[in-house]
Amino acid sequence: MKTGIFICHCGHNIKHTIDVKKVSEYFKKFPSVTVSEDYPFVCSEPGQDMIRDSIEKQGLDRVIIASCTPSLHGEMFKDLLKKSGLNPFLLRRVSIREHCSWVGDDVEANTEKAKRLILAGLYSAAHYVPLEEKLVDVTKSALIIGGGVSGLSAAAFLSKMGMQVYLVEKEAELGGHVRTLKNIWPARKEGKSIVDEMVNELSGRKNVEIFTSTTISAFEGFFGNYQVTLNTPEGEKKLTAGGVIASIGFSPFDPGIKPELNYGKDERIITTLDFEKNGDAIKLPGKPRIAILHCVGSRDEQIGKPYCSRVCCINALRVAEAVKDKYKDSYVESFYMDVRAHPRGGEEYFEDTQEKGVLFTRANVAEISPTPAGIVIRGEDTLFSETFEREFDLVVLSIGMSPPIDNKLIASLLKITLDKDKFFLEAHIKLRPFDTAVKGIFIAGSCSGPKDVEESINHGRASAVKLFGFLNLGYAYVDPFISYVDPKRCSGCRMCEQACVAKAIKYDETKRVVHVEEAACMGCGLCNATCPSSAIGLKGYIDCMIDDEISAFLEAI
């Protein structure tokens, strides 16, 4: 066996806590190791060329790359092996960055750990066999959950590209929260007109099916062929979707859970959304005094919402501007922590609002108490370190975004994960911001974290492009990590048949052994762990690989 070990420095990321030279020297003395090199950036072009050269010149039959975590650059290194004429499943990635150099500070201990992690890779890779990727047919259709702006923009793109689109919306009307907004900054357009434009685009297309007032009752299957059961007003409907975009949006923060704000107890305490809906109908005196509170339901550790909701500062500025434009002699005071008017043009808008005479006070508001004469706000001015008490005619709470109410339901249906704030978690925050950990399921819009309208539309479109790239070929390769049966060892006890969740194991009455239906196997390995005669193995994770990995960790080989 000729194994090549390539250890990445990752600039200083790995090198600073692992003695890479020592590790590469250590592996040179192994008889099965032909090449053991360390290199500053294995993922760079010269680094890849080095691996390719070694494979071609030295005739390597196993490649071990000790670098970042396997999910990063995984496909790239697989392609490299393919180009070099080696089966991509003879590659072993060892994570010595995320699992070693970044989690410990002691150089000596980390070097030992890295050695053993690579050793485990080496022993395990010795059992690798060339595998062929499984080709599966992909249904060219997409299910979009949620008909807000992000879902609509995703649907518009996918349908334009000729893909069958199923758009599912819980409410009776499409458009989500944007439909209710009257003046969307910076376009200064009515939300309804933005939504209607998108809905009109969709309604003329034959390949779009829109289900309103519909929920999803069941979701099964795998990438390329998800079986979805919808609960429509006309009854149950089953369909097959190749991929899914979850764009279920957000729910507005309910200030009722903060009792000191007294929201809902007096009609003079409203939220930015209430102001948006019927701001014109509010009766105010000729010279009104208006208070606006920033960061209600955002950046608040106490109620478990430490994140910035990104849109509420602009919403607060819009309220301030609207009041100032209508009542020239009004007194508008904005209580803020700090103003994060970050979309393009936001800072200028903030300055313009200040010039219009809106007063900005950096403050912690302790209490809002309604009295018959006016609403009294008590708090602390954090720039002057003084307490204050002022009376207003109207208080507007600039509420943030909370995770959607259906987040848990959709997450458990689609088997995707929620992050610590209970929004959907992306596969990688920078490299794969549209994907989830599940292949073929994407997220779009504010269900993956607070976003404004522009960002949501972009996010929806980007997810649609990614999904289109997955589905357009009509076929896809999936990992060949499925189970196989050694009929000579199988005793026909049928324990695996009972255990298999996917019902992929079938018993042959004449031969008295079981066999695996490859198309149905999900590759969980439960049968492998269940079989008392070790007759079933999960390709890529067979018993001897894991056994040897354990031995290498504990140096018992």
- Which chain residues interact with other proteins by CB under 8 A? 69-71, 95, 97-100, 102-106, 109-110, 112-113, 115-117, 120, 411-412, 415, 417-420, 425, 437-438, 481, 499, 501-502, 522-526, 528-530, 538, 541, 543, 546-547, 549-551, 553-556
Closest distance between other proteins and the C-beta of residue 226, in Å? 14
Q: E strands, 301-420, where?
A: 331-336, 359-370, 375-381, 386-392, 394-399, 401-402
Is 419 within 8 Å of 436 (Cβ atoms)? Answer: no
Nearest in space to 44 (alpha carbons), one of 80, 93, 90: 80
Q: Judged by CB, which is closer to other proteins: 382, or 530?
A: 530
Q: Judged by CB, which is closer to other proteins: 401, or 527?
A: 527
| Torsion, Cα of 6, 9, 13, 19 (10° steps) | 100
Closest distance between other proteins and the C-beta of residue 437, in Å? 6
Q: Judged by CB, which is closer to other proteins: 155, or 485?
A: 485
Q: Judged by CB, which is closer to other proteins: 33, or 154?
A: 33
Closest distance between other proteins and the C-beta of residue 549, in Å? 5
Expressed in angstroms, the distance from the first to the final Cα of the chain is 18
Tokens 């070693």 belong to 100
Is 473 within 8 Å of 138 (Cβ atoms)? Answer: yes
Nearest in space to 220 (alpha carbons), one of 235, 234, 202, 241: 241
Q: Judged by CB, which is closer to other proteins: 273, or 438?
A: 438
Beta bridge partners of 91: 63
Q: Which tokens belong to 216?
A: 């999803």
Q: How many CA atoms lie within 13 A of 410 on its CB side?
A: 30
Closest distance between other proteins and the C-beta of residue 57, in Å? 31
Closest distance between other proteins and the C-beta of residue 404, in Å? 16
Closest distance between other proteins and the C-beta of residue 557, in Å? 9
Listing DSSP states for 358-376 in one string gives -EEEEEEEEEEEE-SS-EE
Closest distance between other proteins and the C-beta of residue 445, in Å? 19
How deeply is 287 buried, as exposed, middle or buried, from its count of CB atoms within 10 A (0-12, 13-18, 19+)?
Answer: exposed
Alpha carbon 510 to its chain's center? 48
Q: E strands, 71-123, where?
A: 91-95
Closest distance between other proteins and the C-beta of residue 210, in Å? 30
Closest distance between other proteins and the C-beta of residue 436, in Å? 9
Q: Judged by CB, which is closer to other proteins: 284, or 550?
A: 550
Element containing residue 167 per DSSP (H, E): strand 164-168
Closest distance between other proteins and the C-beta of residue 330, in Å? 45
Nearest in space to 101 (alpha carbons), one of 23, 45, 30: 23
Tell me how far apart the alpha carbons of residues 320 and 331 are, in angstroms, rounded to a whole number. 10
Q: Judged by CB, which is closer to other proteins: 346, or 537?
A: 537
Closest distance between other proteins and the C-beta of residue 15, in Å? 16
Q: Judged by CB, which is closer to other proteins: 123, or 349?
A: 123
Q: Judged by CB, which is closer to other proteins: 107, or 273?
A: 107
Closest distance between other proteins and the C-beta of residue 547, in Å? 6
Q: Judged by CB, which is closer to other proteins: 113, or 318?
A: 113
Rounded to 5 degrees, φ, ψ at 55 are: -60, -45
Q: Judged by CB, which is closer to other proteins: 1, or 554?
A: 554
Tell me how far apart the alpha carbons of residues 429 and 445 are, in angstroms, rounded to a whole number. 14
The answer for residues whose C-beta is within 8 angstroms of residue 138's C-beta and 6 or more apart is 223, 224, 225, 242, 470, 471, 473, 474, 475, 476
The answer for residues whose C-beta is within 8 angstroms of residue 208's C-beta and 6 or more apart is 155, 159, 165, 167, 202
Q: Judged by CB, which is closer to other proteins: 94, or 291?
A: 94
